[in-house]
Structure 1
Amino acid sequence: MRRLLCAIVAAGLVIPVPPAAAKPPEKTAFDVMTPASTVASRTDRRPTAGGIFDPVARKTFISWSGKAADTYVQAYDHRTSVWTAPKKIADGESDPHNYPTMLLAGDGHLLIFRGMHNKRTVISRAPLAHSLDGTWTDAEVPEGAAASYPMPVKTVDGTLFLFYRETTKELDPAADSDFRPMKYLVSRDHGKTWANSVRLTGKRWAFGSLGRADHMDEVYVGQLRYLPSRGRIQFVYTLAGGGPTQHKHDVYHRNVYYLSFDVHTLHFYSAAGHDLGTQVDDAEQERYLKVVETPLELPGGLKSPDYILQVGTQRDGEPFVTWFQFDAAGSPRDFAGAWNGRNWEVREVANGLRLREMEQLNGGTWRVYGTRDGKPNIETFLLGNGRTWRPETLITTPKPVQRVEVIAGFRDPARILATGASSARDVSVADGDIYVAGTPRK
């Protein structure tokens, strides 16, 4: 642990939190529904766009991966408190990376986005507005070739952005397997047609790197968050690659980075406000975007930092991020980094938790959702301005949970979507539950 803390001091002030601040919470304040039992397979979905509340239909719509990573959707009617049966939308081709993400287009139609692991972008469209009913249509988007990890955003004017990571070797066999930058698609007609970032900006990629000495030229975005009042999208990400002796995919992870994106100008910005233009390269990310530097190692045989990271804003509008790394025993160590206007203040806030998702409560106070390996339940904590940490409550689930996502525009009692852990990594096994939790209806 001493080596880990020494390594991250270089990028920010590390302030350990006393162990007492990370004691598990005890009280329960959430009700849990189980829309579907023993149906979920293992999934690689990030905490983005798993479900949405539709105020017109007065329904909450959710999506999840079932057996063979097939995409399913369900709806909760807030008037009757009844869930629909799971409805299969598309085949998952037996790959846990082919998970669904969901949003409601400006014309009222639900859209499901899938990056068919390193191959193609596919969008499924509901035939009826504000409804899951009918036969959905699938459309491949050639502008989003070689895509994985789709992250959709709808802006206040109805413009759709879809960020994804490109596996460049699928398009250029001469490319190294650990060159995988971020790109995006834009639609201004509710998802019917798309233009990609290369066409819009003339740049080869949106953000990423090529030619690092450590070969860490893959980007793993942990989460993005849209800020409507500012017209910005925030990102937090880590790097991956083969390490300095080899070009191999996702052998190591390294460092944590933050940036934001202006949806009007298509420019990227650092936390300090540096305008980085329409493309970010390695020199810029190292100089302006790095939150913390982490060792190039596999503690406990695990990639560290983890794939899942979160991003939010403090009361004064400055950003903060959260993530977890692993110690030599393979146990998670939980960190928060807050931008103070000059640099990143980094604190270890807890240990033993996989930080799954965050929800803004008011001002700079956020609820953080976390789980412990092999154990049921979701623990919640209150994080103030990316600095202060205290236990809040316990959400009781019958079985362990692998993913948590705050439902966009949620209405209680459907606040979060939690995908239960499957008993096997292979997606031919699908025995995890689907949970939806929220505060009790009054």
Structure 2
Amino acid sequence: MYPPLRRLVSALIPVTVSALALTAAPALAEATGQGFSVMTPASSVASRSDRRPNAGGLYDAVAQATFISWSGKAADTYVQAYDHRKKTWTAPKLIAAGESDSHNYPTMIQAADGHLLIFRGMHNTRTVISRSPKAHSLDGTWTETEVPEGDAASYPMPVKTVDGTLFLFYRETTNQLDPKAATDFRPMKYIVSKDNGKTWKNSVQLTGNPWAFGSNGRADHMDEIYVGQLRYQPESGRIQFSYTLAGGGPTQHKHDVYHRNVYYASFSTKNLHFYSAAGRDLGTQIDDPEQEQYLKVLETPLELPGALKSPDYILQVGSQADGKPFVTWFQFDAAGSPKDFVGAWNGKTWDVRQVASGLRLREIEPLGLGVWRVYATRDNQPNIETFRLVNGRTWTPESVITTPKPVQRVEVIAGFRDPARILATGASTARDVSVADGDIYVAGAPSPWWAGR
């Protein structure tokens, strides 16, 4: 609506009705997925990254700013900020070295004291936390701390609960600590902080168990956990997990040779217990018999990564309108093309169905009442396609978010404020992290023209 027409309407319609109409207008973009705007905070700077769809960015209501993190050349960690008042981006700020390993990606949350924390699991070696010197700001020289409680860590996944407690889940490479352990024994553990990340205790100290979830001694040696995504549910205090297995296979102990199966579990941040989709209390540690009996969404053959029916490393997890979980993932056909699946818990079993082909499912966004937006890409093609998924069953094409170059990762920004809804890391043209030529994109529903007036 143009300003002169808006003034005329305001004069003719009571203020309350006019305000209601103006408030409701942005919901059109929310409901249809149309009209996404795309910003490019940084160009030709992103290297290849193994980051999961978790904790890439957040909105800070106090600063009225969106903060993002990403991996640049040599997997170094960079951050940027978008000022929603000025509608401007800061220049990329180098925070820490990535040691030229694509696994050493940053994840970022904001502690209850307002300070930003960046976590890196330095691939099989250590957990490192960078902390901003100022609350609600990227400015100044960040401090860096190694956390011995999170030793031999990879793939950090941080969560802040409603009371400010910090959980960081990670996968441990156990033979870095115990040379007698098999190289394909890699369970999940976590560390917890009650003081905004200053001190930590790990799951062994808190529960007495050698790991949080995983297995050791399977006949097929599939004792490596690959968590595709975790999702915190503030209303219940639960964290949902979707994951798959890897290992050397039945004849050898080698890292990440074969993949198989899809699993779901949830974790209570209140009592540190794990639960199945059916609600079975599994206690403070999940072992292989429990995993196989209560947590399996789908049994797949023992396959090489990228082979027929091999689940990818990245999976997504969400909830239906009644609270029952669902999991999304993709696996490959004989020609190496992705096939896209959803498994929805019906109260007794998992309803698994193929919903699409040719898509790499990157992230899902809750829209309410069991409705989710799925963000997906196609290999070597620009743009992000979005789909509407209802209760893990009904799949509908929605829109296309136009990007100049292909995208490798998509993450919904925590507590987002449009137009900064998702962070999309552009794909580098090389697997070598010394090449950093991917763009950094941030997309969302554009702000209405009256915003800020």
**Structure 2 match to 1:309:** 315
Structure 1 counterpart of 2:257, from 248, 251, 254:
251
State yes or no: 1:273 paired with 2:279: yes
Map of 1:206-285 to 2, 5 A cutoff? 206-285=212-291
State yes or no: 1:197 paired with 2:203: yes
Secondary structure at 1:130 match in 2: coil
1:38 and 1:430 in contact (8 A); partners too: yes
Map of 1:39-438 to 2, 5 A cutoff? 39-298=45-304, 301=307, 304-438=310-444
- Aligned-pair distance for 1:353? 0.2
- Aligned-pair distance for 1:302? 7.5
- Aligned-pair distance for 1:27? 8.7
- Aligned-pair distance for 1:295? 1.2
Q: Given the two structures, how large is their TM-score scaled by the length of structure 2?
A: 0.91
- Aligned-pair distance for 1:299? 7.3
Pick 1 or 2: higher relative contact order, CA cutoff 8 A, min separation 6: 1
* Letter aligned with residue 193 of structure 1: T
2:308 and 2:333 in contact (8 A); partners too: no
Q: Decide whether aligned partners of structure 1 residues 235 and 110 sit closer, same or farther in structure 2, where only a CA change above 3 A counts.
A: same
- Aligned-pair distance for 1:29? 2.0
Secondary structure at 2:281 match in 1: coil
- Aligned-pair distance for 1:300? 5.8
* Letter aligned with residue 118 of structure 2: I
Secondary structure at 1:276 match in 2: strand
Task: Note the alpha carbon deviations across 1:355-385, whole angstroms, 9 max, x for none.
Answer: 0000001210100000000000000000000
In structure 1, the gaps of 5 or more residues are 1-25
Name the CA distance, whole Å, in 2 between partners of 1:231 and 1:67: 37
2:133 and 2:140 in contact (8 A); partners too: yes
* Letter aligned with residue 245 of structure 1: T
1:300 and 1:328 in contact (8 A); partners too: no
Secondary structure at 2:74 match in 1: helix
Name the CA distance, whole Å, in 2 between partners of 1:224 and 1:46: 9
2:306 and 2:331 in contact (8 A); partners too: no
Structure label with greater radius of gyration: 2
* Letter aligned with residue 320 of structure 2: Q
Name the CA distance, whole Å, in 2 between partners of 1:335 and 1:49: 24
In structure 2, the gaps of 5 or more residues are 1-31, 449-453
Query: What's the RMSD between the two structures over aligned residues?
Result: 1.1
* Letter aligned with residue 154 of structure 1: K
1:334 and 1:348 in contact (8 A); partners too: yes
Name the CA distance, whole Å, in 1 between partners of 2:204 and 2:438: 39
Task: Note the alpha carbon deviations across 1:241-293, whole angstroms, 9 max, x for none.
Answer: 01111110001111000000000100000000000000000000000000000
Name the CA distance, whole Å, in 1 between partners of 2:203 and 2:114: 25
Name the CA distance, whole Å, in 2 between partners of 1:411 and 1:129: 19
Q: Decide whether aligned partners of structure 1 residues 56 and 27 sit closer, same or farther in structure 2, where only a CA change above 3 A counts.
A: closer
Task: Report the count of equivalent residues.
Answer: 417
Task: Note the alpha carbon deviations across 1:212-233, whole angstroms, 9 max, x for none.
Answer: 0110000000000000000100
- Aligned-pair distance for 1:304? 1.9
Q: Decide whether aligned partners of structure 1 residues 27 and 382 sit closer, same or farther in structure 2, where only a CA change above 3 A counts.
A: closer
Task: Note the alpha carbon deviations across 1:106-154, whole angstroms, 9 max, x for none.
Answer: 0000000000000000000000000000000000000000000000000
Q: Decide whether aligned partners of structure 1 residues 299 and 55 sit closer, same or farther in structure 2, where only a CA change above 3 A counts.
A: closer
2:371 and 2:391 in contact (8 A); partners too: yes
Identity %: 80
